[in-house]
Structure 1
Amino acid sequence: MKKERLFPDYIFESSWEVCNKVGGIYAVLSTRAKTLKEKLGDRLIFIGPDCWGEKTCPYFEEDKSLFSEWQVQAAKEGINVKTGRWAIPGSPVAILVDFNAFYPQKDTIYTQLWNKFHVDSLHAYGDYDEASMFAYAAARVVESFYNNVIAKQKPAAKVVYHGNEWMTGLGVLYIHDRLPQVATIFTTHATSIGRSIAGNNKPLYDYLEAYNGDQMADELNMQSKQSIEKQTAAYVDCFTTVSDITARECAELLDKPVDVVLPNGFEDDFVPQGKEFDRKRTAARRRLLDITRALTGDTVSDDAVIISTSGRYEWRNKGIDVFIEAVNRLRLSADQLNKEVVAFIEVPAWVNCPREDLAERLTKMAEGETFDTPLDTPVITHWLNEQQNDRALGMMNWLGMHNAKGEKVKLIFIPCYLTGDDGIVNLSYFDVILGNDLCVYPSYYEPWGYTPLEAVAFKVPCITTDLAGFGLWAHNEAGGHITLDKGVEVIHRTDYNYNEVADDIRDTVIKYANATKQKQGRIRNNARALSQKALWSQFIEYYYEAYDFALNKAEQRAAKTK
């Protein structure tokens, strides 16, 4: 007879990105929250850093009445928090903790960490101390809440503490030590040493089995991050990651196979429907093409194919280099295209300011004026600090990509965060996606890949690689091989086949651009259909498996101590 699966009465989940929108983990947690909240209500509690102080956090709605008695007790224990709700669908409880008060105890905390878990914090630098003090503060929140609120309940509540990324590792180990009855889960969304190997232009995949994670950490000055990640993985009740490709990386570099793979789902309630979808797509296309016309002084057809790449400015890991190479090869093969192609790099860089000359020209164009001369540097929308050192502009210049008048293929760098108020585009990222015909994410290092998943949710087919977790998942969904006809083209990528990847991207763009409108429509619909298989309603089961795994471990530990 199959044993009934255990499910927690309380889940505490911590991340540097709770109510703090800085990366992809924000999307993972914020979209998953609604599904879990439906099962747990206010017994699902997220813990994030109080980075805002006296300023208002735009992602957090404070409610001082929430757990007010506990807040008073926590303050007596030296734990200062703000309680409220995360301003996302489901409005789950969020606790923001002030971690600055723990800096004076830092050396003592690190010494205890070494004595109990052999975590090496001696080589710490950069964001290690900040992350670790937050991790410690978050764990103290859980400890205080458990002892003052949950421990009084009968029968004893089943509690899970879930930490995301190495930044929460110290706290996960603290809970493991101080509250052994609480089940712990640790998720690495990308190993710090794997990302570093890839980012330092070393071949990660062909040599993965030959790498020693600790040795590479010494070489790349990553000892402390490697140590906290490796030891947390070793001690936690349930060690998880987001894809099979990263699971392999964990086994080799952290010397610990993962217990459960937790693929990243999403909710699609942010995707507009019906007439609103069409209206927003039309507006985004118009804005992107007007920016192109204003920069280049060229006439660009309304039916030009718009393609883009986006994400963090990780030159090799995100494939920004190969995207530029592919667009250049497309430019040199323009005689094979039936339509113009406008490509965008939507990657935040060190922005100085929006271009006044471009903003002024866009305003005049809206009033009916036309221009037939290019602006200076007609390849970028915002001026950068130290622009002469920017890698994307440098590569474009070296390849002779200057968006000359009459060229059928143009490439434009939008180096700002697309928040809707950047001074040029003035549309949010999700509104900009709608205007695309095709998105390209030729990642070299991508444990999952939210950007392609978001693209297909907006009916925008995409190109990715089989070094991305999402790409491998899409392959599997299609029975082992998927092509653009089904909404996603997954290109084979290795440590060394840069040129083949660039050619494959070029050829796929030509194929899509030259397809009939009816075929493009079918491809777009297939992209949307694929995205529906990655909703949290499909993927949440993996989390239930992880909760059961961790709770069983905690029960076994409790039984041994009786």
Structure 2
Amino acid sequence: MVTSKKLRKESEETVSIQPREQKKPLLMEIAWEVCNQVGGIYTVIRSKVPSMVEEWGENYCLIGPYFQNTAMVEFEPIEDLEESYFGRIVKRMQEMGYEVHYGRWLVTGKPRIVLLDFKNLLYKSNDLKHNLWNRHQISTLNAEALVDQVIVLGEMIRVFLTEFGETYGHKNDVVAHFHEWMVASALIDIRTDNVPISTVFTTHATMLGRYIAGNEPDFYEKLRYYNWEYEAQHYGVEAQAKIERFAAQKCHVLTTVSDVTAKECEVFFGRTCDLILPNGLNVTRFAATHEFQNLHLKYKEKIHQFVMGHFFQSYSWDLDNTLYFFTSGRYEFRNKGYDLTLEALKRLNFKIVQAGLDTTIVMFIITKNPVYSINPEVLQSRAVMEEIRETCEAIEKQVGEHLFHSSASDENHNLPDLNEFVDEYWRLRLRRTIQTWKTKKLPHTVTHLLKQEDDITNYLKYTNLLNHQQDRVKFVYHPDFISPTNPLFGMEYSQFVRGCHLGVFPSYYEPWGYTPLECVVRGIPTVTSDLSGFGDFMIQLMKDYESVGVYVVDRKEKSYDEAADQLADIMFNFVTMNRRDRIMQRNRVENISEIFDWTNLRSYYDTAHDLALKRKGVTRL
């Protein structure tokens, strides 16, 4: 390959000229989830921003859709449109009649951001779909409503990038990095039109992979035999799958987030991925080990309060000998491994009972599902427990005052009868409140009133895992996100994670897997699977991953039954560890978290952008 450096040397030998001064390249990252929280891609892009701004500075800009509700909170406009390359193109588009917003994204790093308001152009969707068929033979017949929005947004992105490329692309090195199919129609167009911009396309999960894996057994065993076009038509996602496939084929550099998903790309895109871009987070390390351990204790105490309010109305146990496990994520019963988790917990319950252990496990299942409201009985139990607390605090204050006065004035050195220090009012109030609270009903397995029964509730009923007193594994199915405004927990999700002991995520289909990574960066041991991108990455990263508190269930080679046994054994071994060993394991997990900081993982993105520029015959400074 003839490099630009070699060409420059040859030219200098023949003609004495000054080499052209090269400018630092310009980078635009484009995604549906820029300033628009829908799923995990928002976390990828938002958490990566500080590292990207550190590398690219003012030559970095993000492009996404404009939604007023989120923009009101996360967007700050820039009035002077002449102050940058990006602002000048925004001004030109506004003069052309498009609704375009330019400013700063109000996240750490405050990057430049261009938000495209496509809603007023939806009336043109049929014409744009007609053009999509004429130019690329992509059919949009019977496609979902989202496809119309995506195509209109894609047209606005195309106009912006075409104007940008024709204005600056001949003198500057420009990279456009597209995330997922929702913005990929613009990539197909600018490559067809030979706009002078280098392109990178990242698929975070293939459209067909997500559909097929959730509906058919033995997805990975059958993967190489699937006909992508037949499957796209079968699942009614032909438009989405074709946009994704054509973008993957036309881009300069094709990337995905894990080797697991790269195998899907070969089958569904007909192209081998050029690079793997693992996902990271902004990792906050503590100066001293005890700091994050103290946070674990602090937030575990908050979870204790919930458990007391939820369970102790019916029966109680020793909270000091209780472990909190949890799983969370999108509600995909099979893909996210909820089915395997429940089966393994059933077996774990049997193992603990058979072993005669007095340890109690509370398993929290956190996922979003349609609900009417929080179960009033759950709220009532929590409210009455709070009343008991307030009554006890009042009694404690009264007893304390009387005890001090008695101790200071009484010549009798024996401890007085404390009951004498409590007013009849408080004794009766406490007794009545406790009597009102206590019940013989079993604690609810679901905290909310679901709009309809689902696979989780059906499994719990079928296996009779309904929070019986003799069961050592208890279940709390919380079909909503955890937030500070939630009256049951009153804490951030990240705080809830810190308060738990083990995260359980044995996914069947998981291109990356942020949930186990979120455990690692917070010093919490976690279970993942070798079919998740994160689990596969850990296997490649180190041989002794279990010693640092990351457990990987073998779902590639083992049957469902064997994988359930393995997961039950992993959890049972964790239960039988002593407290000191669990503390040491949390220390080891926290120690490896820095590996996943974006300051380290951004280099994978740097390589992708370098390669895209080189494939256009230029090099990046």
Both proteins in one fold, TM over 0.5: yes
Q: Which runs of 5+ in 1 are unaligned?
A: 557-562
- Partner letter of residue 150 of structure 2? A
Instruction: Look up the match of 2:200.
Output: 185
Shift in alpha-carbon separation, 1:306–1:384, aligned structure 2, 3 A: same
Q: Provide, for residues 219-249 of structure 1, a one-character-per-residue CA deviation record: whole Å limited to 9, x for no partner.
A: 2222111111111111111111111111111
Are positions 1:31 and 2:47 aligned together?
A: yes
> What is the CA–CA distance in structure 2 between the aligned matches of 1:265 and 1:548, rounded to whole Å?
20
2:444 to 374, 378, 386: 378
Select between 226-235 and 208-217 the one with higher mean Cα deviation. Answer: 208-217
Shift in alpha-carbon separation, 1:136–1:496, aligned structure 2, 3 A: farther
1:50-129 matches, within 5 Å, as 50-52=66-68, 57-65=72-80, 70-129=89-148
> What is the CA–CA distance in structure 2 between the aligned matches of 1:391 and 1:383, rounded to whole Å?
15
Whether the 8 Å CA contact 2:165–2:197 is kept in 1: the answer is no
Q: How much has 1:103 moved relative to structure 2?
A: 1.9
Q: How much has 1:364 moved relative to structure 2?
A: 3.1
Are positions 1:333 and 2:399 aligned together?
A: no
Instruction: Look up the match of 1:347.
Output: 367
Instruction: Look up the match of 2:608.
Output: 546
Q: Which runs of 5+ in 2 are unaligned?
A: 6-21, 390-433
Are positions 1:516 and 2:582 aligned together?
A: no
> What is the CA–CA distance in structure 2 between the aligned matches of 1:440 and 1:398, rounded to whole Å?
22
The structure with the largest helix share of the pair is 2
- Partner letter of residue 482 of structure 1? Y
Instruction: Look up the match of 1:166.
Output: 181
Q: Provide, for residues 190-218 of structure 1, a one-character-per-residue CA deviation record: whole Å limited to 9, x for no partner.
A: 10001111011332111111112112212
Aligned residues: 548
Are positions 1:499 and 2:561 aligned together?
A: yes
> What is the CA–CA distance in structure 2 between the aligned matches of 1:78 and 1:271, rounded to whole Å?
51
Instruction: Look up the match of 2:32.
Output: 16
Instruction: Look up the match of 1:41.
Output: 57
> What is the CA–CA distance in structure 2 between the aligned matches of 1:548 and 1:136, rounded to whole Å?
27
Shift in alpha-carbon separation, 1:550–1:71, aligned structure 2, 3 A: closer
Q: How much has 1:535 moved relative to structure 2?
A: 1.7
- Partner letter of residue 438 of structure 1? L
- Partner letter of residue 134 of structure 2? N
Q: How much has 1:544 moved relative to structure 2?
A: 1.4
Select between 11-20 and 106-115 the one with higher mean Cα deviation. Answer: 106-115
Whether the 8 Å CA contact 2:23–2:172 is kept in 1: the answer is no
Shift in alpha-carbon separation, 1:374–1:493, aligned structure 2, 3 A: farther
> What is the CA–CA distance in structure 2 between the aligned matches of 1:64 and 1:131, rounded to whole Å?
28
> What is the CA–CA distance in structure 2 between the aligned matches of 1:353 and 1:433, rounded to whole Å?
24
Whether the 8 Å CA contact 2:162–2:195 is kept in 1: the answer is no
Secondary structure class of the residue paired with 2:56: helix
- Partner letter of residue 374 of structure 2? P
Secondary structure class of the residue paired with 1:143: helix
Shift in alpha-carbon separation, 1:275–1:61, aligned structure 2, 3 A: farther
Q: Provide, for residues 300-327 of structure 1, a one-character-per-residue CA deviation record: whole Å limited to 9, x for no partner.
A: 4323110000110011100111111111
Instruction: Look up the match of 2:473.
Output: 409
Cα RMSD, aligned residues only: 2.7
Give the fraction of aligned pairs with identical amino acids, expressed as a percent: 29
1:359-438 matches, within 5 Å, as 359-369=379-389, 371-373=437-439, 378-386=444-452, 389-438=453-502
Are positions 1:490 and 2:583 aligned together?
A: no
1:310 to 319, 328, 331: 328
Q: How much has 1:359 moved relative to structure 2?
A: 2.7
- Partner letter of residue 174 of structure 1? D
> What is the CA–CA distance in structure 2 between the aligned matches of 1:349 and 1:15, rounded to whole Å?
25
Whether the 8 Å CA contact 1:338–1:514 is kept in 2: the answer is no
Shift in alpha-carbon separation, 1:51–1:364, aligned structure 2, 3 A: same
Q: Provide, for residues 434-466 of structure 1, a one-character-per-residue CA deviation record: whole Å limited to 9, x for no partner.
A: 011010001000111111111011110111110
Instruction: Look up the match of 2:521.
Output: 457
Secondary structure class of the residue paired with 2:615: helix
- Partner letter of residue 563 of structure 2? V
Instruction: Look up the match of 1:262.
Output: 277
Q: Provide, for residues 503-557 of structure 1, a one-character-per-residue CA deviation record: whole Å limited to 9, x for no partner.
A: 222111111111122211221122122322122222222111111111122338x
> What is the CA–CA distance in structure 2 between the aligned matches of 1:495 and 1:352, rounded to whole Å?
41
Q: How much has 1:393 moved relative to structure 2?
A: 1.1
Shift in alpha-carbon separation, 1:188–1:377, aligned structure 2, 3 A: same
Instruction: Look up the match of 1:530.
Output: 592
Whether the 8 Å CA contact 1:309–1:441 is kept in 2: the answer is yes
> What is the CA–CA distance in structure 2 between the aligned matches of 1:349 and 1:467, rounded to whole Å?
25
Secondary structure class of the residue paired with 1:83: strand
Are positions 1:248 and 2:287 aligned together?
A: no
> What is the CA–CA distance in structure 1 between the aligned matches of 2:287 and 2:334, rounded to whole Å?
33
Instruction: Look up the match of 1:217.
Output: 232
Q: How much has 1:263 moved relative to structure 2?
A: 1.0
- Partner letter of residue 149 of structure 2? E
Secondary structure class of the residue paired with 1:207: helix
Q: How much has 1:69 moved relative to structure 2?
A: 5.6
Whether the 8 Å CA contact 2:61–2:114 is kept in 1: the answer is yes
Whether the 8 Å CA contact 1:338–1:513 is kept in 2: the answer is no
Instruction: Look up the match of 2:14.
Output: none
Select between 262-271 and 459-468 the one with higher mean Cα deviation. Answer: 262-271
Whether the 8 Å CA contact 2:58–2:112 is kept in 1: the answer is yes
1:460-479 matches, within 5 Å, as 460-479=524-543
- Partner letter of residue 109 of structure 2? G
Q: How much has 1:471 moved relative to structure 2?
A: 0.4
Q: Provide, for residues 13-38 of structure 1, a one-character-per-residue CA deviation record: whole Å limited to 9, x for no partner.
A: 11111111221111111111111101
> What is the CA–CA distance in structure 2 between the aligned matches of 1:269 and 1:88, rounded to whole Å?
16
Shift in alpha-carbon separation, 1:432–1:520, aligned structure 2, 3 A: same
Shift in alpha-carbon separation, 1:348–1:178, aligned structure 2, 3 A: same
Q: Provide, for residues 261-292 of structure 1, a one-character-per-residue CA deviation record: whole Å limited to 9, x for no partner.
A: 11112211398987764554334322323323
> What is the CA–CA distance in structure 1 between the aligned matches of 2:197 and 2:561, rounded to whole Å?
50
Secondary structure class of the residue paired with 2:467: coil
> What is the CA–CA distance in structure 1 between the aligned matches of 2:251 and 2:304, rounded to whole Å?
51
TM-score of the superposition, structure 1-length normalised? 0.91
Whether the 8 Å CA contact 1:201–1:316 is kept in 2: the answer is no
Instruction: Look up the match of 1:559.
Output: none
TM-score of the superposition, structure 2-length normalised? 0.82
